[in-house]
Amino acid sequence: MKSILYKKYQEEVKPALKEKFGIKNQMAIPKIIKVSINSGINARNTDSHFVELVDNTLTRITGQKPIKTKAKKAISAFKVRENMVVGVTVTLRGQKMYDFLDKLINISIPRIRDFRGLSEKNVDKQGNLNLGFKEHNVFPEIRSDEVERIHGLQISISTTAEKYDRGLELFKLLGFPFQKK
């Protein structure tokens, strides 16, 4: 079963992008390739309990087991040793990606405290969107009474847009709430 956001992309967004930018080839229409969700773990929070807490949080949010990223070399100024866990990451593609984006647009982003819309500066030159969350508890899978320690998340949405204006238009048509000018 295809997600609601994928159906919207196929039925509404693709024809609108094709018409607006005068794209003749179906394969040249911008689309979302993958979504990467990362959470960094600094040197002060190296206890295994915190790493497992972040791991469980990302598993519940995405429905997929995250990968623990390790330091390639030691950096004494940051109190990082070689092979020390410095982050946790998940990459979503396909059906899970569209389900996650649907939940992100309609449930999680509106739950952000004092939210006034996403900045258009979050879209880079290649048309990818990068979002940072200071608190992970905006997602519906995380109950506030279960939260022991709050940590941040970084979400990168990669596209085939190759240009800023095409990427921005793709995200606007998909329903991302950008600030009004």
Task: Give pLDDT tens digits for 97-117.
Answer: 999 899 888 888 887 878 888
Amino acid 91: pLDDT: 95
- The boundaries of the domain holding residue 151 are 4-41+90-174
* Higher per-residue confidence, 77 vs 66: 66
Would you say residue 55 lies in a domain?
no
Task: Establish if 11 belongs to a structural domain.
Answer: yes
Give 57's contacts (C-beta < 8 A, 6+ positions apart).
39, 136, 142, 151
Provide the CATH number for the domain around residue 107: 3.30.1440.10
Residue 32 lies in a domain: yes
Residue 35 has pLDDT above 90, yes or no: yes
Q: What is the pLDDT of residue 47?
A: 67
Is 65 inside a domain boundary? no
In a domain, 63, yes or no: no
Lowest mean pLDDT among 3-12, 68-77, 164-173: 68-77
Question: 119-171, pLDDT tens digit by residue?
Answer: 888 889 998 999 888 877 677 777 666 667 777 789 999 999 888 999 999 99
Cβ atoms of residues 103 and 140 within 8 Å: yes
Which pLDDT does position 150 carry in this prediction? Answer: 73
H helices then E strands: how many in the chain?
5, 5
Average pLDDT over the chain, rounded to whole?
84
User: How many domains are contained in the chain?
Assistant: 1
Q: Does 127 fall in a domain? A: yes
Choice between 176 and 144, residue whose per-residue pLDDT is larger: 176
Q: Is residue 71 part of a domain?
A: no
Q: Which amino acid is at 166?
A: R
Let me know if residue 52 belongs to a domain.
Answer: no
pTM of the entire structure? 0.86
Residues 6+ apart with CB under 8 A from 161: 30, 126, 127, 128, 167, 170
Mean pLDDT of 61-68: 89
